[in-house]
Chains A and B, each alone.
Chain A
Amino acid sequence: MKSVCFYFKIHQPFRLKRYRFFDIGNDHYYYDDFINDEIINRMAEQSYIPMANTLLEMINSSNGDFKCAISISGTAIEQLQLYVPEFIDTLKKLADTKCVEFLSGTYSHSLASLEDPEEFLREVKMHDNMIHRLFGVKPKVFANTELIYDDDTALLINSMGFKTCLTDGAKHILGWKSPNYVYNSASAPKLKLLLTNDKLAYDISNNFNNPEWDEYPLTADKYIDWIAALPEQEQIVNLYLSMDTFGTFLPASTGIFDFLKALPYFAKQKGVQFTTPSLASDKLKPVGELSIPFPISDMDEARDVSAWKGNDLQREALSKLYATGERVNLCSDRRLKLDWEYLQSSDHFYYMSTGKNAAGAFSPYDSPFAAFTNYMNVLADFIVRVEEQYPEEIGNEELNSLLLTIRNQAGEIESLNKEVKQLKQNILNADDSNNSPVLTPVEVLEKSDVEAPAKPDTPAKSKAKRAAKATDKKVAAKKSTTKKKSTK
């Protein structure tokens, strides 16, 4: 029996406001609230809400036979929470049907997998925590930003415990092979790969409303027929679509929602099943290994990462951004950490693309140069803020160990204080009872011993630098224990 799996992608970045170089150091708010509000409201009204309602209806009318997956970024969720909270409720309803699977991904739809493996792991964890908090499920299948994938990324994905990953069925990778099978990764053989069927997805996203297409108009029975007519052994068709295509690029008036609603009926007739990626992955065995040494994505004709890393401007911006990553993760300023997320969104880099990759109508900027200038101004201010957190002359490694020492000392002081209290109590008890006066001098001696290191309490907490003096000797000795604590 053939299975079809729909994946709907939802993402919105926090678009930056016009930020001039003389704002650097003066203005620490970077986002264009008006545009972000306007876009997400428009998208929700035209696309997300009617689409989610359509999916609910499809699930209900088919008694749960219709299944699909949703891949939503953390920044999109944040914006929805801010501006369209009712949509989050609709998503929860979808999650409650158990017919919709939420995929894992990067929090800010970032390029961290290409730039900074540690940051990538952190982003995914943050994303999945948010999904769990909102929808009560831990994502089991991974779909990276715009399906970016290569052999190195596979190792990272596998290390996080994922068994299945979705990526693009790029022609130049597959060659004669069909995307309608499950494969496994060459570098991490336990990781199953689901590949998108770009042709069939394109027929919906781009051809549905294209009167010049020779198969126009596309109807639900014709579409299901095509899937049913695929070779016997081809068991799974993965259709990865951007949710905002429905209702905007394909307006409701084209009948796109009715097309979707009719799919479960015809699928049942032809014996085509709907599935979620987890179910598909459990059921199907990989037919072969895929080695993908260079990153692929679902972007443009080339299906590579040149839309974000294709020119010097983009590479420069990316390298400057990720160079601060380690420092940012040492900081504890909440606002700073949020900005760090928002600035990572791949969209900012897409706006800088030139030539045939140019973002054009999707970009809020006049030109890639304007996008670059604006982003670099914001980044410059961000970097200033990061540097202000801790003195610049202390290296990351040193800083890290100092911070750990401080954190550790706080714990130590606390436990020592407790001990002191305990001992004081003991003395008092002893005084009260006058039972064993011989013991008292020994305990008093111990007490003064203990109090000595506890005294530089306040300075140690306030500044890393001063703490350095007091604790230099202990650093080496405590390193092993502190590390264990920090990972918890």
Chain B
Amino acid sequence: MKALMFGWEFPPHILGGLGTASYGLTKGMHNNGDMDITFVIPKPWGDEEQGFAHIIGACNTPVAWRDVNWDYVESRIGKYMSPQIYFDLRDHIYSDFNYLNLNDLGCIEFSGRYPDNLLEEINNYSIVAGVIARTVDCDIIHSHDWLTYPAGIHAKNITGKPLVIHVHATDFDRSRGNVNPTVFAIEKDGMENADHIITVSELTRRTVIDKYGISPDKVTTVHNAVIPLSQHLLDLPKPENKDKVITFLGRITMQKGPEYFVEAAAKVLKKAKNVRFVMAGSGDMMDAMIKLVAKRGIADKFHFTGFLKGDQVYEMLRASDVYVMPSVSEPFGISPLEAMEMGVPSIISKQSGCAEILDNVIKTDYWDIDAMADAMHSIVTNHALYKTLHDEGIKEIHEITWEKAGKKVIDIYKKVIADRSQKQ
């Protein structure tokens, strides 16, 4: 089966969980066999893992004819993709886009991030999708998150192939209900035009059904999984700490509920002296959190690390005795799974999607700081609890594989394709 996927991020250059999930899913589907996946991203960096999917960069796809020769193309974009694909794509330019700001190859520039002119970039991405859809043969189109929904719809209109959209998050999660009407419109349009919708949790599924008014039979949950961490990360040494370390790790934004972590920390520190708290990451609420920590008078035991890059994340986890994710609304939340794989007992909010599939974690309501503090205290004082969550957590994570998730997605493809052929 041939699938054409539109995504925004791809490891190793990722900004959030979307890239990791896209990568894991694609690889998991490939491992199920008989899948030919073309994955489109705005801007490849050349160090993406290939082999299980053909990666096409939107920034390397011509939308206007330029008379260039093979060697020139090879020298310019050879490290991203084969020049042959460039020429194939060039043969399928469908309109004159010379009015756009194009480069010497007739391609649009993309930042591949979340710039201020994001809506323009989304629109450009959709223009490029038109060229790619005309070139690449496919049985199904799969769009990851709202940024790529317009591209997916465009491709569907051109090819007549069914469209599956993958909801990794909705604007209701990101904004605590204060939705941006433009984003909402794009999301709703994507959902209505899709033949089937995949959500990463039941929580998200409910949002799609209730807030976007989508028919429940069109929405299926496929929970995310976790990519096994490489051995060198698992082998990181645990630093000798006199104190127990309880960690919050993630963007310090409203969605992640950092203030509940601080309040719970204050409660624990009133009773227990041999505990330290770390808030790792950055975000628009960081200053407010530093103030709150000072106000509670716990700054001597509460530390901020700032943004952590690459392996630093895992070094931080390795040094932690408890990982806490008090998210107010988390469509899935992959980081507790990583923490568990590193053997760190986790406390997560019941309002996160991953709570639906995890057993060996402690779940509390995000607002229940008493329960959260109690759970923190219990793990650091009762070794038996620490050990159980540590051992059973590792076991449990090894059962959650992308292969299983990939299998579910493939089954959805088959059903969607069968439904469509029946209609015709």
Contact = CB atoms under 8 A, between A and B. Distances in A.
A24 B271 contact: yes
B363 interface: yes
A226 interface: no
A375 to B, nearest CB: 10
Contacts of B267: 22
Nearest to B270: A22
A316 B384 contact: yes
Contacts of B374: 20-21, 373-374, 377
A372 B382 contact: yes
Given A372-B378, A377-B374, A367 B363 contact: yes
B271 A376 contact: no
A305 to B, nearest CB: 17
B387 A312 contact: yes
Interface string A297-320: 000000000000001110111000
Given A22-B267, A354-B392, A367-B363, A373 B384 contact: no
B389 interface: yes
Interface in B350-370: 359, 362-363, 370
A312 B375 contact: no
B377 A21 contact: yes
A216 interface: no
Nearest to A369: B362
Contacts of B371: 20
A179 to B, nearest CB: 36
Interface in A279-338: 311-313, 315-317
A53 B229 CA distance: 64
A144 B185 CA distance: 66
A376 B362 contact: no
Contact of A373 (B359, B363, B375, B383): B375
A367 B267 CA distance: 22
Interface in B267-306: 267-268, 270-271
Contacts of A316: 382-385
A369 B389 contact: yes
Contact of B385 (A21, A366, A373): A373
B271 to A, nearest CB: 6
Contacts of B387: 312
Interface string B323-365: 0000000000000000000000000000000000001001100
A430 interface: no
A370 interface: yes
B330 to A, nearest CB: 18
A22 B369 CA distance: 12
Contact of A20 (B359, B363, B373, B384): B373
A330 B364 CA distance: 40
A479 to B, nearest CB: 39
B388 interface: yes
Contacts of A354: 359, 388, 392
Interface in B368-409: 370-371, 373-375, 377-378, 381-385, 387-389, 392
A21 B378 contact: yes
B35 to A, nearest CB: 35
A347 B374 CA distance: 22
Interface residues of B, number: 23
B363 A376 contact: no
B172 to A, nearest CB: 25
Nearest to A368: B388
Nearest to A22: B271
A380 B271 CA distance: 13
Given A313-B388, A315-B384, A21 B362 contact: no
Contacts of B389: 369
Interface in A8-23: 20-22
B351 to A, nearest CB: 14
Nearest to A358: B359
Contact of B370 (A20, A312, A372): A20
Interface string A336-375: 0000000000000000001000000000001101101110
Contacts of B381: 21, 376, 380
B384 A21 contact: no
A178 B381 CA distance: 49
Nearest to A20: B374
B303 to A, nearest CB: 22
A22 B271 CA distance: 7
Interface in A217-250: none
B392 A377 contact: no
B271 A313 contact: no
A354 B384 CA distance: 13
A97 B267 CA distance: 58
Interface in A417-456: none
Nearest to A373: B378
B270 A376 contact: no
A238 to B, nearest CB: 37
**Best-surrounded residue of B370, B388, B392 (most CB of chain A within 10 A):** B388
Contacts of A376: 378, 381-382, 385
A28 to B, nearest CB: 17
A436 B330 CA distance: 102
A317 B268 CA distance: 22
B362 A313 contact: no
Interface in B99-124: none
Contact of A21 (B359, B363, B373, B392): B373
Contacts of B378: 21, 369, 372-373, 376-377
A156 to B, nearest CB: 28
A258 to B, nearest CB: 42
B370 A370 contact: no
Interface in A197-221: none
B373 A22 contact: yes
B385 A369 contact: yes
Contacts of A370: 362, 375
Interface string B238-276: 000000000000000000000000000001101100000
B268 to A, nearest CB: 8
Nearest to B268: A21
Contacts of B359: 354, 367
Q: Which of B268, B371, B385, B389 has the most CB of A within 10 A?
A: B385
A44 to B, nearest CB: 32
A367 B362 contact: yes
A366 B363 contact: yes
A175 B355 CA distance: 43
B224 to A, nearest CB: 22
A315 B370 CA distance: 26
B271 A21 contact: yes
Contacts of A313: 384-385, 388
A317 B267 CA distance: 24
A377 B270 CA distance: 15
Given A21-B377, A316-B385, 11 more contacts: A21-B268, A21-B271, A21-B373, A24-B271, A312-B384, A313-B384, A316-B383, A367-B359, A373-B378, A376-B382, A377-B378
9 contacts: A20-B371, A20-B374, A21-B373, A312-B388, A354-B388, A369-B375, A369-B378, A376-B378, A376-B382
Give 9 closest A-B pairs by Cβ, nearest first. Answer: A316-B384, A373-B378, A21-B377, A312-B384, A20-B374, A369-B362, A312-B388, A313-B384, A20-B370
